[in-house]
Amino acid sequence: MNDFQKHVTHYIQWLEGLQHPLTLDLAKSIGYSLNGGGKRFRPLLGLSLATDFDFDLSPVYPWLFSIEMIHTYSLIHDDLPIMDNDDYRRNRPTNHKVFGPSTALLAGDALISESILNLVKHYPNDSVLALKLIKLLCTAIGPEGMVQGQMLDITSKNSLLNLKDLTYMHRLKTGALIWATLLGTAYILNLSDDQLSWVDQLGWDIGLAFQIKDDLSDSSENIEHGSLPHLIGLDGSNDLLNSTIQRFDTHLSHLNLKEKELSILIYHYLENKGR
């Protein structure tokens, strides 16, 4: 992660040097959220998968940085007054509370385009791979993926979703970027079609497991209206979590990984989620 952080720091310094003095707050706003104290879970997922296949990590960093850019943009926009209207994230004032809603909005917009440009810059010698990564990223975050999940979340405030629609919402809002992280890393590792299939399924199930654990943590004292525990109870939610974990254990076993970094990471985060 130290090498990955150097990648982030270098980018922020480059961006600040690029800005007109009157627009420097845009670069500072981007840097503020990119270095917002997150656990870098998605980059860690990709790095763990590459490590488990004993693969050189350096070709994976740019892809994972684009993923982190998208994750950061989504948090900036989610916190805005027109969305969740949150004042704090990770024990710090949210971006719009520091730089104002307009700058925060533009910082999020900039990170979307930068995530695509970053892939074009760093995979110039393999246009097929670059196009696959760009297509994957846009699929995961657009109206077929994360944005649709966010829209479902907004509309669900006025109507209670059934279990099928709720898990579909979580699959897109939370799971799509996790799925893309692992599948894009697998593309870079040049895994076989069979291995890609297992990674594909693994990514979706990790995203679902994390959302179930989130709902269970949030409902530890009071069951939240519209959550999974509200729809199927605490026991039903735990059963769904356990069956999801069993599935991704199967996916992991079929990958025949040389190391166990990915498995250790997933279980560590599941165990500590909500603490």
Long-range contacts of 235-244 (CB under 8 A, 24+ apart): 237/212, 240/212, 241/209, 241/212, 241/213, 241/216, 244/205, 244/208, 244/209, 244/212
Average of per-residue pLDDT across 58-69: 96
- Tell the CATH superfamily of the 2-272 domain: Farnesyl Diphosphate Synthase (1.10.600.10)
pLDDT above 70 covers what percent of the chain?
99
Q: What is the pLDDT of residue 238?
A: 94
Average pLDDT of span 133-155: 95
Taking a C-beta distance cutoff of 8 angstroms, is the pair 269, 212 a contact?
A: no
Token pair for 95: 């971006």
pLDDT of residue 274: 55
Residue located via tokens 């296949």: 53
The answer to whether 60 and 66 are in contact (CB under 8 A) is: no
* DSSP structure string for 190-203: T--HHHHHHHHHHH
Mean pLDDT of the chain: 93
How would residue 119 be classed by pLDDT, with cut points 50, 70 and 90? very high
212-252: pLDDT as tens digits: 998 898 887 788 888 899 999 999 999 999 999 999 889 99
- Predicted confidence band of residue 175 (pLDDT cuts 50, 70, 90): very high
Inform me whether the pLDDT recorded for 39 exceeds 70: yes
> Averaged over 70-90, what is the pLDDT?
96
Q: pLDDT over 90 for what percent of the chain?
A: 81
* Low-confidence winner among 103-117, 128-142, 176-190, 239-253 (lowest mean pLDDT): 239-253
Q: Which residues pair with 92 in a beta bridge?
A: 89
Q: What number of other Cβ atoms are within 10 A of residue 160's Cβ?
A: 12
Q: How far apart are CA 72 and CA 65, in angstroms?
A: 10
Residues 6+ apart with CB under 8 A from 190: none
- Please report which confidence band the pLDDT of residue 15 belongs to, taking 50, 70 and 90 as the band edges: very high
- Give the predicted TM-score (pTM) of the model: 0.94
Q: Is the pLDDT of residue 275 over 60?
A: no
Angle at 273 between CA 268 and CA 275, to 5 degrees: 110
Long-range contacts of 263-267 (CB under 8 A, 24+ apart): 264/48, 265/44, 265/45, 265/48, 266/45, 266/206, 266/209
For the chain, which residues make up each domain, given as ranges? 2-272
- CB within 8 Å of 27: residues ≥ 6 apart: 12, 15, 16, 18, 19
Kindly indicate the confidence band of residue 261, based on its pLDDT and cuts at 50, 70 and 90: very high
